[in-house]
Structure 1
Amino acid sequence: MPRIESTAARLAKLGFADGARAARLVEAAGVDLDDLLPALVDAADPDLALTSLTRLAERDPAALDAIRADERVRTRLVAVLGVSAALGEHLVRHPGHVELLAVQDLPEPRADLLRAVGADPAEEDPRADEADALVALRVAYRGRLLRLAALDLTGELTLSEVTGELSDLAGAALEGALAIARAEVGDDDVRLAVIGMGKCGARELNYISDVDVIFVAEPRDGADETKALRTATRLAQAMMRACSAATPEGALWEVDAGLRPEGRSGPLVRTLASHLAYYRRWAKTWEFQALLKARPVAGDAELGEAYVSAVNELVWSAATRPHFVEDVQAMRRRVEEHVRAEGERELKLGPGGLRDIEFAVQLLQLVHGRLDQLLRRRATLPALAALSRGGYVGRDDSRSLAEAYTFLRQVEHLLQLHRLRRTHLLPTAPEDLRRLGRAFGAHTDPVGEFTARWKRHAREARRLHEKLFYRPLLEAVARLPESEARLSTTAAAARLQALGYVDPEGALRHLAALTTGVSRRAAIQRTLLPVMLGWFADSPDPDTGLLGFRQISDKLGTTPWYLRLLRDETAVAARLARVLGTSRYATGLLMNAPEAVGMLGSDADLAPRPADALLGELSAAVSRHGGHAEPAVAAVRAVRRRELFRTAVADISGLLEIEPVGVVLSALNDVTIQAALDVALSKVAADRGAPVPTRFAVIAMGRLGGMECSYASDADVMFVHSPLGDEREATDAAFAVANELRRLLALPAPDPPLIVDPDLRPEGRQGPLVRTLASYRAYYARWSSPWESQALLRARFSAGDAALGAEFAVMVDEIRYPAGGLNEDAVREIRRLKARMEAERLPRGADPGLHTKLGPGGLSDVEWVAQLLQLRHAHDRPTLRTPRTLQALRAAVAERLLDATDEATLAESWSFASRIRDAIMLVKGRPGDSVPADALERRRLAQTLGYPPDGSEDFLDDYRRVTRRARQVVERVFYGS
């Protein structure tokens, strides 16, 4: 007795609810706790686990030896026994199933269950007794269920994997039941397919649930249809009985065919043609929502696939039916009324329950999936992820819904596993809540922690359900004053639905903010918006467009000219909608200079301004700040921002081709550097108390040197100076000027920085930031390598002392245009460098075929062809002496160094790749070198480049075709293949 009391105290301290009872069980069964106690302590219900374990030991003492011998088996078994009394009972009846917990991989469930009922074609002696087959089916099913629960409860499978396995196991059981039915009825004259619906069809089944099905049948060749349907009906009935019949091993679950046409009043089995006739003429909205989950699960697979393929066309056009959205919402409200008595404890149908999440996801799928095939997923979590990726649901909302759904499903599973009974009702008994809390890892206060977590997820699920399911289109539109609004509720709803907002509630909030009230501003907006919504809808990203429009309107709406301009100048409003709905980059520029809306009125206002005029404006802006360096350069950068916006709008509007865009952006960077250099020179002179004792020039390199800058380009440069006196003093001053220039143009500010990058200088980052002309000459004479000669092909004067820049150009001509051209060793070295770059510089994980810079046929390929031609021939053929890629290729054709067809192929690929890089920056507001893998981003990019909304794949095909042809030219002209 003292030993039992000691054990009882020990067990109670370790978390057993009834230590004394647990101690008596241990004593009676003679169980040695030393090996089992750690696993029992971690169990959701240690008392329940110990009870089942002692019963198992009494039934089969050898089972404990197997458990002790294998830690994995021990962990899995105790996890199951601590949750499921029903599976504990199963193990007591079938202790040999402990061995299933040690098996790494089981056979495919369909073959396993068919073998159990004697329907395996490989079996020579099929089972003849139906009662035995029914029992065998249940035993085999529950054995696999035991192992699946063990993997689930130990965290070895994700929720999606568990529900998928449960669905496959249910399909296997239906196949086994159908085999039993065939033995009873026969099926010589009919083909029968079983279509899984609901969670079974979506592969997200619970542990215990009615399995929803629809039966479709066709007579075999030559058979009478009426007789065949009679046979099919008897087969279906027998199959359903085989699953639900009571046996010594209990039943599996109910097979529910209530989702069939006409419900329980309709025929149990129909032909495919009969199904389609019904759906086309009589089906209600909810039936199409149910068919979204349809999947063949048993029987004739070919017929099942034909059924699903046929009904899918109807499912994804259902959203066009009159009152579709209202019907779905009304059905959800009816369900909520039906379960009002259980209130929030109903995990499935109550507020914040699983149905809230599922209905919201399904409605969004059905509305948007008509046009976006990526949304056509059966299961809730994959569908939610697709909606998030496509921009139909915000990332945070999607994440919250997924977390809530996963938690609620896991709770549901734990409830059902306990007794293997169909339930969705959260218990109130403390011991049941304690078991749930401990199953989720809460040991300090399992009841309190579990309850708080459940309520948090339920509240969030309900909030997001209401946001996505009820309010996106109707309520906000209804707030518009009908007496004044020209934007009718019907028209607004149709337009907004066409836009496909990422955040529908937010978009409608913008509309309400713009149009609500009796002010003149609101009245003009109500006049504008019916038309502008159509223009937004035609842009690649209407949601961002409307958001940008509200932000611009908030800044300028009280300015008298702004709304008058939009109302009276249709071209301004149309172009503004196009820009805001296309380019996050241009929208960001406009936010800090909203008055630039005024330049949208005509094409002439968007024409690039001459560099001389810009430089004069920048010089005037600098002079207004009287020697204050930072404000002066801030003014310079503000002008640059405005000109970047002008260029971006002209680009988006198709007024500039890609080559002139590069020239305009490069010239803008030149004058910006010149104005900032003037400020830096003045600042250094003021700090020294004397003029800067050297001439100073900025040499453009890279894309800046080639007049090929993109919106995202840094300014690649080298700094050269020529002392007017003491060289050391001059070098120190030049170094200060270069650093000040870089600092001023990179300061944090509302305007985009211009990063001045000097890394192409001799010796790279290890070399001096600034050199004299003589120092450059000495370095290149002694140390210059082929790649540096190649880099110098783009060198040109950018800013500073023009005479010094000209001297530098003359000095490097002998390096970049070598007399006699390149020898074969140098050519081979350049080819090796190019091959190495292709192999090593491509970012990890990038698809080479979609990388615009380093991929086959991309920018690098074309540029190296032009540069090799220049290095080999420019000394003798001065027309090749240009820093610009396309000009060099055209000159090569004129010099008969390159075939005109090859030049056209290379130029097309270079231009296409450059347009894509610029478009990525325009669309996303951040740089990128690869064609996006994400379908929504690629669609927006393609539309920005002029493709129709459904032209994303055409865009991809065009790019692959153009770059493939260019690469063939590169192989032949550059590599000599």
Structure 2
Amino acid sequence: MAETNAEQAVNEATVRARLWSPFLTMVLDREPELARSLSEGRLDLTASSAMPDMPVARRLRIERRALALNVAIGDLSGVLDLTAVTGALTGFADYALDTAIRAAIEERTPGAEPLGFTGIALGKQGSGELNYSSDIDPILLFDPATLPRRPREEPEEAAVRIGKRVVELLQARDGDGYVLRVDLRLRPSPEITPIVLPVDAAIGYYESQALPWERAAFIKARAAAGDLALGARFLDAIRPFVWRRALDFGAIREIRGISARIRDHHAQGQAFGPGYDLKRGRGGIREAEFFAQIHQLIHGGRDPAVRAPDTRDALARLAEAGWINTDNSRALIDGYTLLRTIEHRVQMIDDRQTHALPTGEALDRVARLHGLDDGGALLALLAPRVAATGRIYDALDDTVRPAFSRDAVTLETDLAAAGFDVPEPARQRIEAWRSGTYPALRSPAAREALEAVLPTLVSAFATAPVPQAALLRLDALLERLPSAINIFRLLEARPGLAILLAAILSHAPTLADDLGRRPNLLDGLIDATAFEPVGDIAALEALMRGGEAGGDYQAQLDYVRRIVGELRFALGAQIVAGASDPLAVAAGYARVAEAAIGVLADATIEEFAKSHGRIAGSELIILALGRMGGAMLTHASDLDLIYLFTGDFTAESDGAKPLGATLYYNRLAQRVTAALSVATAAGPLYQIDTRLRPSGGQGPLVVTLDSFARYQREDAWTWEHMALTRARPVFGSADARGAVAGIVRAVLEGDRPSRDIVADARTMRAEMAAHKPPKGPLDAKLLPGGLVDLEFAVHVVQLINRTGLDANLGTAVDLLTARNLAPSTLRAAHDVLTRLLVTLRLVAPDAAPPGHATEDLIARAIGVADWSAVVATFEATRQEVAQFWAHVTGEQDG
């Protein structure tokens, strides 16, 4: 029954085509076999009267003519939906472009492989959405090293001649029509460049001087014809240009500007009704496309799932990811589908590349081709979809903001009304910015961006606990920036970020300093997931291995530094915003560090092996101690690491420059340390401390697993065994990690020299107190009864009782409490001190009392009501820890 209905629909569509479309009537007459099949209800997209032995151009023209007829009838009958229609049209365009490239090369160099010449599809061909009577907008590229050419012919000359022939084969008209209109103006600088460009020159252009709108164009880019491997190489190379982690609101503003210019230029097609421009009119096809592209540019750098070239697919994915409203997504998809369908009807009339509804009787013709009674019915069908698309797109435009006066008296009045109790200093700062004395504010574009964002900044900073102090820190930030345009545009577009920025500048000098060095760190906070816990180690490693490195070692170092910087900044911002428990943030810091170790150690090993090869049956192991071993870092923590290697220390590597095992691993470990610590163009990463290795700073950087075991069993001091209680393997195979963990556990459970642990611990603590006094009255680590005392006491109990052995200090406390070896209050003490330490590293790194505005933040972070409760809780906690330390060591006084 379904087949009968389809056949009937095809037959009825063929009748409508003859009645209302001169073009389709002409093709039906020129293709009698196809016409007969269609009138009998049979639709075959591959059917054509073209013959294989025809000249290429004629064969393509006839194939295109047949496809145009078949697709039109399939569309009009409803047998083909919009996806199938545009897919068939795009597939033919790819095939035709590829055929033309191969033919052009074959004509000039018979028998040559079609290498070194590629067509990059942009626009609707690139996204698989080609319309019924569309031109194609390829970029033609060549590789001088592989392009076939005649003897003594320069590659550039050969490429241009091939390109001209390709255009001629596709675009020339005769009695059979044409194949495709070709528009090459989307290539870089089309007014001065040849029609075919060297691939490396094109890559250089997009990496250094491309315009913002070109980023949006490449959302839809695809290697479509010719040497597809060459095309893929080009697109891989420019991917960082298209999908940037650092947001570029200038590009988004550029797209909005294009939309405004389109509306202005096509004013006669803006009003809905007869003559309405389906593509460029308000609420038309282009606005649905731009809506999707704007959100893709904002989020696609960080969320690869939304990088769909197809407009409807992109809108759906943006909604699935939560970036746009689901109802808006559905309305835009429905509107886009209907408008594209009617656009096809308009083009089917005379095979003209037009997008405007006709007027008068011609509008009735389009309506009847679609199966409606008249033009009025067609307008009634379109009206609600057009209105919905226009309304949704217009809602994006929040650029109309009140301007702040340049008159000093009026400006102070406005600042006072906004919430500045003492407006004069704020007015002076704003006037200084407007004067352009800072490098970041010298250009007219920067000052224009400043004026646009001032209302947002003033409103946000007025909510800060001390508005003037926050404004002064913003001033210090602007003074250090080379350019402020992008950060201003980001804050203008996302006012909520301005409020968070004010909080960061008010409370967190550590984060403010980070932001001064890397202002694009703020970009990461636009993503709501920035305030969720960071992923597990595997997810973080996958994130750090992805991106723009492309196998280049230096690029990998830079990329990991950027990702780690963004994640650490976001974790710190979670504390400032009150979005996360500092204990969860501390664990997040540690997972980020462990993932960075894994990715950079792997990359360094691969790079090192290029020169020195590998050592069979041997591998590097990295053992973390201290806070890294306990998986609880602060924003400022260094990483305590020990490097070990397995296998025979007399072995030798198999590379071009072989090394003995000990030298091999010592050099490799130095490289790993550098990879984790040396500042690159993307900034610093971690401070690495390797002094806890066997024999300390006097010993080799790396030792064998056997040497490590022997040292810990026979020679290590008490302080080294105390450190070992927080040892955790963070790099190496599962077997190697298990072997290290087994050695550590055996030592801690008693396979070590007998020593006076209590006496040694008391001596060490006294020496530490003498040489490393507390920084300030809030030093949760070094003050008596602070975290160091808690750690020392726990480690002594662990070593004496050979139990409670877990690298995480909080878990170790729980284990000791369960065995009645620690008081039940100790875990709460651990949590208070850790929360305080993690928070103060951000808001009071000198451990001095913060300003009154920050006191509430600290109270919230440790879970008490106010600052007096912070002080009381800190004092009571230190007394509890001091009592436990005194109990463990036999001292009578805390």
Name the TM tier (shorter chain): 0.3 to 0.5
TM-score (norm 1): 0.44
Over alpha carbons, which structure has the higher Rg?
1
